[in-house]
Structure 1
């Protein structure tokens, strides 16, 4: 591709930036807003806690598997690069297309949608302000990421540190001052669990999602072969422990039936009830900052997939989408592209529904990547910067978890699944059209 620019991204991310992006990208809206839906689906507090633990174990086995693959392919693009190297250009393109057209914008829109609920409550605004607040926040964080990657990385460190304050407050207050029994409560107001344990686990996976996005920055890490596995594994493990403790803390403080009635507002109610009006406001502000950190992490990583695909000439207008600023080395056009798509999705989708479909879509390609570890083991015998422990048990659990996710969502929402699969498949004619245009120019 002679017409592609020669500017490349800057390798400046160290361990604390990487771990902050992993933890900051994962811990966002899911743990605060999914408590009600997880509890409703599970039917009891014990199964709800088990769902968060089980979702964390599935995520950790997936992270351990991807860590081995990513250490051997430490390039910008993450899952897009892995799938292409393992299965060829077409499936690689669809993995990238899925992330930049469906998954990335949808997950950003979903997190922004959840965050706007808290923001509207915080400022005493009506529901009509939710979409405008979400759009303004996404635009502001998008603009910040038009500068070099250190700006977003510093913001990730600040927000990840800041989000630990409301998390610690909820855990400590719930465990020490809660009068409920965290285990054994039943949601009596739900005659039948709305979806069962499988759908409950699926809801928790939205809360854990985002761990793989650090792989998109492989080309910007100082020592990705060592740093990428450490960031993924330590980040997911920390989040698993935090999520379990938060869930137990909330269930010790609020009865299951009340969590069911409050739904998405359960955490905001807990904050006000536990710490008073002012304390509740401060805690809500901390949670909003937490979500901003999540949005920032996603805004850093998804444009890198656009950039990586455009560098290969896989997208229409690749020359523009692959542009990076000469000084800051920031993929500005790719960032604006993701911001625009996310903004459109905010107007047409409910954030809760959107989050579940995001998880389904990305797990289609996670599964392919998980199988890829067996392919790489045959190709690169004994030549690995990182080896997945307990192989092949860990990859097998990751694969079983991925199949579980896909089957659960397929039965739960077949229409939504078909819609998102259709959007992914639309990428095929675009891929061939771009290749035909390239052939004519040569």
Structure 2
């Protein structure tokens, strides 16, 4: 009997346009709407807040362009898992995929599912008891759409990304045209109760959480048309769009709402700006935009995350690997991996409901960012290893301004790791424990593989 990956293969159906919308769609969730006040609180002034968004975009772009060269040299499904595996070996590759498959991916999916359900029930004045069921319906529907084929999931991504950008650009355009507040030079340091809150590093860190998701496109490199060209191009265009959207919407918000009022608005800053511009219907437009944004972001995660367990299963590094690596002969979609991620997410949803104080999807996704960035750092260093290993080999794409851009990416990664250690040491320790649990699992799987 032939291995599954020889009998079937994933279809190369992802073009440049869809790749760009995956980059934009998996990054822009709720952060663009809810983070302006948070960043301002840490920055202290409007100038420093805008600068924090610019810095966050530059660091993210440096990371994306660096990873894009690795992806062009290793154009395989699985993204970070495949890169770490090919550069450092199967042990480190497994640990990368382990964290992403068991906790990081499902936690992000579940947090989006629960947030989506709450937003929809609040918008339509439905009982809050229905919010989980609404979220589950969205998760089930999007999983089914992606089982039908990557092209359908990609089409959904194109539609939702365009739809979510409409309220973003409406606030930007009309805010810049109709706003009459001073954009620059607004100082709110006297209004911030704790001096410890004012920290430019924490302001940048808040933006980087909003930029998170930039690497998701690499998970489906094996399904991209001409990945050596389209992966770097999609990263460049997509991350530029996101950075411009984030920076400009913050400028527009400052132009509409005085910083002294903005700092106290919390997660409603963009909605209040829309209300000031368009009346009560404006806040409803933004709420619809956030709902579509979360829905599209969830779809992007469902497209990309299952490719990690799929790649691991193909390598025999997951229990029930034959089932998880199953590809539908007719639909050419990774049905086994999609169902596996759906199942893990479902278990996590049940756990968050049964043990809300012990199992919090938002917190789990945040604490694992620390460990994910350790693997990002390994990947950034891996670029230098690949350059040395493949010396003299012609590259389809080379990161511009080498080695400055990769060093900038490393600096950004180190910044996140150090700040996370300082701000949440116990959370970082929890993520290391999750990582350590993967070691005996790997040893057990390797032994079983050798016996078979």
Shorter-chain TM range is: over 0.9
Q: Distance in 2 between matches of 1:122 and 1:271?
A: 16
Counterpart Cα distance in 1 of 2:81 and 2:15: 23
SS in 1 for 2:326: coil
Shift of 1:189: 3.8
Q: Following superposition of structure 1 onto structure 2, how do residues 65-104 of structure 1 map, counting pairs within 5 Å?
A: 65-104=66-105
Unaligned runs of 5+ in 2: none
Query: Quick check: 1:289 aligned with 2:300?
Result: no
Q: CA–CA distance in 2 between the matches of 1:109 and 1:195?
A: 31
Equivalences for residues 144-163 of structure 1 within 5 A: 144-163=145-164
Alignment partner of 1:206 out of 195, 198, 209: 209
Question: 1:368 aligns to what?
Answer: 378
Kindly indicate whether residue 70 of structure 2 is the aligned counterpart of residue 59 of structure 1. no
Counterpart CA distance in 2 for 1:351 and 1:117 is 14
Aligned pairs for 1:15-414 (under 5 A) are 15-125=16-126, 128-183=129-184, 184-187=186-189, 188-194=191-197, 196-346=199-349, 347=352, 348=356, 353-354=363-364, 356-382=366-392, 383-414=394-425
Secondary structure of 1:426's aligned partner = helix
Residues 280-289 or 236-245, more deviating:
280-289
The alignment yields a C-alpha RMSD, in angstroms, of 2.1
Conserved 8 A contact 2:157-2:300: yes
State how far apart, in whole Å, the 2-side matches of 1:353 and 1:399 are.
Answer: 25
Q: Which moved more, 1:108-117 or 1:367-376?
A: 108-117
State how far apart, in whole Å, the 2-side matches of 1:92 and 1:158 are: 34
Q: Following TM superposition, by how much is the alpha carbon of 1:345 offset from its aligned partner in structure 2, in angstroms?
A: 4.2
**SS of residue paired to 1:261:** coil
Tell me the TM-score normalized by structure 1.
Answer: 0.93
**Paired residues, number:** 441
In the aligned structure 2, how far is the partner of 1:117 from the partner of 1:257? 29
**Contiguous gaps of at least 5 residues in structure 1:** none
- Which deviates more, 277-286 or 169-178? 277-286
Cα deviation, residue 23, structure 1: 1.3
Aligned partners of 1:102 and 1:424 also within 8 Å: no
Cα deviation 1:372-405 (Å, max 9, x = unaligned): 1111111122421111111111111110110010
Residue 100 of structure 1, CA deviation = 1.2
Distance (Å, rounded) in 2 between the aligned partners of 1:358 and 1:166: 31
Residues 150-202 of structure 1 show CA distances to partners (whole Å, capped at 9, x for unaligned) of 00001111111112210111112222222332332315143324372222222
CA displacement 1:60-93 (0-9 Å, x = unmatched): 1111111111100111011101001111111111
Cα distance, 1:355–1:99 mapped onto 2, change above 3 Å: closer
